[in-house]
Structure 1
Amino acid sequence: MKHQQSANACQHLGLASSKVGEVMICPECGVVHLSLNHVSLRFDVEAFRVLAYMLAEAQLNIESYDTRLSKTPEAPHATGFEIAPGKKMH
């Protein structure tokens, strides 16, 4: 990821925004900017793609858990999130 340090500042194009933050890209240097309240992160396009897929997978797992929870007569007191076989939590 090479961020331009020239006299011309990056020209950010908005890709998405919500109440939690926004995603922008600099077409010239290819840096994706993720801003969440007081935190700003920069990614190259491939790293952002991997992050987006990971977050989408996490959301699907949350929704799957919520569906299973709503079908059980009594909700467990613990969170009940389980790690799939072969997966490690960091």
Structure 2
Amino acid sequence: MKIHEFQAKEIFARYGIPVPQGTIAASADEARAATEHFGGRAVVKAQVHAGGRGQAGGVKVAQSSDEAASTAAAMLSTSLVTKQTGPEGVPVNQS
């Protein structure tokens, strides 16, 4: 089964399993708004079907909403390359 992390969290929450607060962003502006909503700090994660996102730069800690927006903008304009994706990578459409 291939599902994104945010989809797994939704399933866990449905069954009463605690999950960290979060939301999905498809743009830098959405990432900025989400970070402001959650208190000004965030972990921005590329939502792709591949392991090793953190080692490939697909997981970044943002200390402000502006940093979250710029991080999301950078992620959303690239493909993430991991050992599981091969050299062509996978486009990042959500963070």
Greater fraction of residues in strand: 1
TM (norm. structure 1) is 0.30
Structure ID, larger Rg: 1
Does 1 or 2 have the higher relative contact order (CA < 8 Å, sep 6+)? 2
TM (norm. structure 2) is 0.28
